[in-house]
Amino acid sequence: MLIGYARTSTLEQKASLETQRESLNAVGCEKVWEEQTSSVAFRESLRAAMDYAREGDTLVVAKLDRLARSVRHLGEIVEELEGKSVGLRILDLGLDTSNATGKLMLNVLGAVAQFERELMLERQREGIAKAKALGKYKGRRPTAREKANDILALLAKGIGKREIAKRLCISERSVYRVLNAKPEVN
């Protein structure tokens, strides 16, 4: 059975998700898991697809970068799939790990992809540093601090920190950050 997995990092990438879905359906994936989440976050749908896969199945992704965030992570995924005798196909690379050549190519391409990502992050850091030096980089808007009064009001009502985070669509860590900075909040 061919099992598909599609992912985008942000909700704005609807076209990319649709393109991946079409590619997976075109090759005959019988079941497709999709999600819109960062590669560094826990990926529920990837976990579900891997748990669903049985011996002889193949996990199919449209692009390598939709599957793994690093060579190490890719290795962990491949190792888990191999342990279950599940193959991996990456459509845009024409890669299939069911043979030795496919496994070799996957490792080489994974290393190149990680190198490319590290170069991109390096350029991004350089660009941010330059923008800061020119006074043009302000950083991210402090959304949690803007909700400080709401956080304090909910806390005063006896609502727990986790529930506050959930209700205000912020992280629990942000709630604690606001509480630790409480004397500065008006």
Domains plus CATH for the chain? Answer: 2-115 (3.40.50.1390), 143-184 (1.10.10)
**Spatial CA neighbour of 93 closest among 85, 101, 82, 84:** 101
- Max CA pair span of the chain: 64
Indicate yes or no: pTM above 0.85: no
What are 114's two structure tokens? 């990680």
With both helix axes pointing from N to C terminus, report the angle between 148-156 and 172-180 in degrees, rounded to the nearest 10.
90
- Annotated catalytic residue 45: no
pLDDT grade for 146, boundaries at 50, 70 and 90: confident
3-state helix, strand, coil in the chain (%, to 5): 60, 10, 30
The catalytic residue among 9, 39, 45, 70 is: 9
Per-residue pLDDT tens over the stretch 29-75 = 999 999 988 767 788 999 999 999 999 999 999 998 888 877 778 88
Per-residue pLDDT tens over the stretch 103-143 = 888 878 778 877 888 899 999 999 999 999 998 887 777 77
**Counts of helices then strands in the chain (DSSP H, E):** 8, 5
